[in-house]
Structure 1
């Protein structure tokens, strides 16, 4: 036992990291994470599951059309069912597209973060950018909600799920809102880089 302790200390002193334990990752989002308009296997969440397999498990608890209020009502059951070590929280786009009050959206996201932490899950927050036709003031205030929560609650954070292609309509489906299959790998890599697994 004494040798084992000294061996472990030696590994840490030498800067060698020990293998991470297997984790369950729950993606809790809307149509952007539910592979809307695509085969489920094409979506970024399925690509993330393949990237993390076989060591880590990814559960997709996303629902197309979900708002932060709907997510807040569903989250306790999802946490109890899947018992995640990480919650990737990607909600708010439908609040923004419907012009719902931003203070309510922020309060809902904050409650979901606290519920996740109370269930002993780490949280990775995903920020969303609205289309420019919603006006600069609203879109700026919308994105500031994510920045503020990430900063104040000290969260792992992806500021923009569609980073690198948000302005390229060729990477979107015909509705101009949902990313095409060709963009899903880039979205997965954006999330993967922020997930410390």
Structure 2
């Protein structure tokens, strides 16, 4: 009888430990799924947007690029550092001078599409983004990552582009603000594109709206 009680107590103790560990794991997992909440940026804050032709506004006028639309919606001072054809490697070379010249209060990283088009190995692109993130975080806690669609001719043909998974993973890992689906949704719609890989004026307006909404939801914009 005594041995039976001891076995029962051991089983109960093990069950309690298992349930406690499961609870801790669930809490941690849930916390990782929650977006990071930031303090709002005041009007006039300098926000550096690093990217390629989709940031520069290729396919429309420079005045219609989405960083311009974001500036109107937020009253931030946006520095549009979009360079057509640029890659994550090119952005890495430019970033130190951009930070030194503009001393930004926040940074938005929106690059990677040309890496995909040029078949740069994914691990190289991810490594470059990691360094961009680290250097940006050394300047400001306010760092956002705009997800770029994965290269898929099939999905592009049927208008169903989706974000490359590395952007959400990097945002979780580094506790960044993430702007999902903005570029993917726009480039999936023929009426919002100037060509297969660039938006038109309406498309850039849609991206600006989605970026502003995502950042507001994560605390960057005072409501």
1:61 is the counterpart of 2:74? no
- 1:167 is matched with which residue: 163, 170, 188? 188
Change (3 A) 1:121 1:59: farther
Within a 5 Å distance, the mapping from 1:107-122 to structure 2 comes to 107-122=127-142
- 1:40 is matched with which residue: 62, 66, 77? 62
Most deviating of 19-28 and 185-194: 19-28
Give the secondary-structure state (helix, strand or coil) at the position aligned to 1:65: coil
CA shift at 1:165, angstroms? 3.5
In the other structure, the counterpart of 1:12 is none
Distance 1:184 1:115 in 2: 27
In the other structure, the counterpart of 2:123 is 103
In the other structure, the counterpart of 2:149 is 129
Asked if structure 1 preserves the Cα contact closer than 8 Å seen for 2:60 and 2:199, the reply is no
Give the secondary-structure state (helix, strand or coil) at the position aligned to 1:87: strand
Give the secondary-structure state (helix, strand or coil) at the position aligned to 2:169: helix
CA deviations 1:45-85 (Å, max 9, x no partner) are 111122223xx211111111110000001100001111111
Gap regions ≥5 residues in structure 2: 1-38
Asked if structure 1 preserves the Cα contact closer than 8 Å seen for 2:148 and 2:184, the reply is no
- 1:70 is matched with which residue: 79, 90, 115? 90
Asked if structure 2 preserves the Cα contact closer than 8 Å seen for 1:97 and 1:130, the reply is no
Q: Deviating runs (4+, > 4 A) in structure 1?
A: none
Structure with higher Rg: it is: 2
Asked if structure 2 preserves the Cα contact closer than 8 Å seen for 1:163 and 1:187, the reply is no
Distance 1:149 1:166 in 2: 22
CA shift at 1:163, angstroms? 4.8
CA shift at 1:148, angstroms? 1.1
Higher percent of residues as helix: 2
